[in-house]
Amino acid sequence: MTARDLIKNLSALPDGPVTVAGWVDTVRDQKKVQFVVLRDESGAVQLVNPRTTDADGAVVADEPATTISGLSQGTFVVATGELKHDERVKLGGIEIKLASLVVETASIPEAPIAADSGIDKRMDWRFLDLREPKHNLIFRIQTTFEHAMREYWIDNDFIEIHTPKLMASASESRAELFEVGYFETKAYLAQSPQFFKQMAQSAGFGKIFEVGPAFRADPSFTSRHATEFTSVDSEVSWIDSHEDVMKLHEDLIVAGFTAVKAKHGEQIKELFGIDIVVPSTPFPRIPLAEAKRIVAERGYEVPRHDDDMDPEGERQISAYVKEVFDHEFVFLTDYASSIRPFYHMRHADDATLTNSYDLIFNGVEISTGAQREHRIEVLEAQAREKGLDPEELEFYLDFFRYGVPPHGGFGMGLARVLMLMLHLSNLRETTYLFRGPTRLLP
């Protein structure tokens, strides 16, 4: 493994010999001196190479000058030289006077994308797009956010599970299933780990979490949909209502935002121009019917063809919450049973409503959570209502025939959270490799 100094650590080192490695960002090949800005995964530094001249003042073609003159953007090199601290240097107050420069792999001079390339073109060349410091930072933020949630889960005795992504039957809507051949039969890619999260409650795990892929055969081309996405899921036993799930959910969000602000707040301010705000708890909670009334009073009528809140309604209620509560999050609660999965528990006094919620963040839904129905006879009846065949759900329904505690949980789209956290307009930006109806590459 190449012995090298990470660029982010150079400022803390004394003047003296160092070795750095990375890709060439820019080259200024001047008559008397050459400058190379080199980037690695941690930052950028300026390399300096004074040119050698003969007695007549002509430039001598020596090394590393000849190599530098032939460098193209993106070429990976290893550089050794003398580190020098100089506050006049704009790039970090340090520079390296080159002693040697070795090309590991050269880059084709003509880059296929530029700073102003459209997002589809950038996605075609994602590995180059991710070299940009701003785009690279997104996935460092993702790592910190996930780690903070995992710390919360582990510190509170949650068990991490890894559920299968090949299923024998639907967990939600058949219309959104990807069907795949499976030996002599067929299987489906998992829309969510829902059934298996609930199995863990029957198994006596008590509290679980998973961060993993989920698949939706949804032919949507919006900026917030994907056919494959990373789902953040948690499920807990012995709850009294969906209020317990919301409390868990907001605690996890706060843990994640606190860690991101502490570790990346300054970089986010510099590269994205925003301040990360750690949300206060409890998050505002508004029943869906009341939210629709509030939105109507603001001049927008949610279409009446279904019982959900549409995207414009979500934006309007978020604007209201920001104005009234100065908060970026809101739980919309008490959704109609007509639009919720069969396994959501219904209100004890009104079977048309469920003990469920959507979490809205900066005008976009990022999660659905609920108390689950744990009574077998009710589950079977609700499955039939949804047009599902209980016989196809036997393996799932068995979880409830041998005792299961009251429980609930949520599933949350990771890329959406990051998109809204950074005030971006498209979750392709916050997905490492996006999958949509027309994209399977790279």
Q: Is 363 annotated as a binding residue?
A: no
Beta bridge partners of 436: 439
> Tokens for 268?
């986010």
Contact call for residues 74 and 128 (beta carbons, < 8 A): yes
What is the pLDDT, as a whole number, of residue 172? 60
Say what the pTM is. Answer: 0.94
Q: Is 353 annotated as a binding residue?
A: no
DSSP codes, 428-442:
TTTSSS--BTTB---
Q: Is 372 annotated as a binding residue?
A: yes
Cα 393 from chain centre: 32
Question: What span, in angstroms and rounded, lies between the C-alpha atoms of 348 and 335?
Answer: 14
Domain ranges of the chain: 7-105, 126-421
Closest alpha carbon to 271 in 10, 44, 20: 44
Q: Is 418 annotated as a binding residue?
A: no
What is the pLDDT, as a whole number, of residue 2? 67
The alpha carbon dihedral of 428, 224, 299, 323 has a sign of negative
What is the pLDDT, as a whole number, of residue 173? 57
Question: What span, in angstroms and rounded, lies between the C-alpha atoms of 89 and 172?
Answer: 58
Question: What span, in angstroms and rounded, lies between the C-alpha atoms of 21 and 18?
Answer: 10
Q: Is 81 annotated as a binding residue?
A: no
Counting every residue written for the chain, the total comes to 442
Give the residue ranges of the chain where pLDDT is below 50: none
Query: Could you tell me the CA-to-CA distances from 441 to 108, 127, 348, 437 in Å, in that order?
Result: 21, 12, 48, 11
Same fold: 7-105 with 126-421: no
Cis peptide before 64 (omega within 30 of 0): yes
Q: Is 216 annotated as a binding residue?
A: yes
- What superfamily does domain 126-421 belong to in CATH? Bira Bifunctional Protein; Domain 2 (3.30.930.10)
Q: Is 413 annotated as a binding residue?
A: yes
> Tokens for 425?
């307009």
DSSP codes, 2-66:
-----GGGGGGSPSEEEEEEEEEEEEEE-SSEEEEEEEETTEEEEEEEEPPB-TTSPBP--TTHH
- What superfamily does domain 7-105 belong to in CATH? Nucleic acid-binding proteins (2.40.50.140)
Which stretches does DSSP call E strand in 346-432? 346-347, 350-354, 356-361, 364-371, 407-413
